[in-house]
Chain A
């Protein structure tokens, strides 16, 4: 089945700098790649997603890139702010799944240093 690996597990950056989180997936038929943000004690919430027919997507300070050949996708956060501190999860939808199922990576705890 689908396997999603995420790195790094923890990341600390200076406020204003950029942060990059990387994920790999195993199922070449996967076609949907969302990113979720989970603040401390809260539920995960979708922040951006990308589909397999697109190589890059941007939403203000957040961007996601997808390399289908290498089965890599990454989250880029620019001009980081204190409210970006959270755990970020990448995920992928297995290509065989017809149930909107997604498989999550293990998460990256991002800390923004003032």
Chain B
């Protein structure tokens, strides 16, 4: 689905550094989501957004910050990365039909 992209696709960083993961969608979907995927935990919701300037916490928001100044972008920032934040991060978007379309994912390693 070329309509939703994530960057970077791979990132290695060190503990304590700030990292921003980008998500961009071209469908003008209202809803956008950030998940992390870890073995044994499936997909856990970090933050979501119902529209520009409207965001809310998901299941595991601690250590993460989001913003949504434009409908098409939903960046996720790790303010001070920790090893426990090593994971694969997926962004997703949806319209009012509930089906979520996922981006290709970002594999983040925190050393």
> Which B residues lie within 8 Å of A105 (CB)?
42
Give B54's nearest chain A residue, CB to CB.
A99
Chain A facing B: main interface SS? loop
Number of chain B interface residues as a range: 20 to 34
Number of chain A interface residues as a range: 20 to 34
> Which B residues lie within 8 Å of A45 (CB)?
102
> Which A residues lie within 8 Å of B98 (CB)?
32, 34, 49, 93, 100, 102
Given contacts A44-B90, A101-B48, A104-B42, contact A49 B99 (CB under 8 A): yes
Kindly state whether residue B74 has any CB partner on chain A within 8 Å. Answer: no
Contact A44–B102 (Cβ < 8 Å): yes
Chain B proximity of A50: nearest CB distance (Å):
11
Binding site for A on B (CB under 8 A): 1, 30-31, 33, 35, 40-45, 48-50, 56, 58-59, 90, 94-96, 98-100, 102-105
